[in-house]
Structure 1
């Protein structure tokens, strides 16, 4: 079976529930995403061996990020733990 390696930034995604706007909701859900991470998860769901290469901070958010990748059976052994920041993006569904 082929093995795939994805390289790139994984980010924290903050989303308002359902079709609410950010200013309408008292809370946001937090997940992880980013093009390369999404491709890695997709390939892993198809049963391919996938490794992910990136740098993730050595903090609880970084730990949660690693845990999420491992839930999808993605090899995280090539991830470097350094820095103290993770990119964030805000996602709002349209009407």
Structure 2
């Protein structure tokens, strides 16, 4: 069985050390989204899974692909 999910990929911005946004000088970011997380989890369990989305053709879009 093959599972295909589709949806938007999001960037989560998070300050270091649980600071508030107004206190932070730097932010850490990670990629995710419900549909992407489901596809990655199913693939980790050995299922044939794919995620369909549209990303920009630049370094941030490639970083999102690399993280998944």
User: Does the pair score TM above 0.5?
Assistant: yes
Per-residue CA deviations over 1:28-49 (Å, capped at 9, x if unaligned) read 1011011111111211221222
Q: Which residue of 2 aligns with 1:66?
A: 65
Tell me which stretches of 4 or more aligned residues in structure 1 moved more than 4 Å.
none
Following TM superposition, by how much is the alpha carbon of 1:19 offset from its aligned partner in structure 2, in angstroms? Answer: 2.2
Pairs aligned (count): 68
Following TM superposition, by how much is the alpha carbon of 1:6 offset from its aligned partner in structure 2, in angstroms? Answer: 0.6
Q: Any gaps of 5 or more consecutive residues in structure 2?
A: none
Per-residue CA deviations over 1:7-31 (Å, capped at 9, x if unaligned) read 1000111111232211122111011
Per-residue CA deviations over 1:29-70 (Å, capped at 9, x if unaligned) read 01101111111121122122211111111111111111112x
- Which structure's residues are more often helix, by fraction? 2
Matched, 1:48 2:22: no
Q: Which residue of 2 aligns with 1:74?
A: none
Q: How does 1:1-95 map to 2 (within 5 A)?
A: 2-69=1-68
> SS of 1:56's equivalent?
coil
Following TM superposition, by how much is the alpha carbon of 1:4 offset from its aligned partner in structure 2, in angstroms? Answer: 1.1
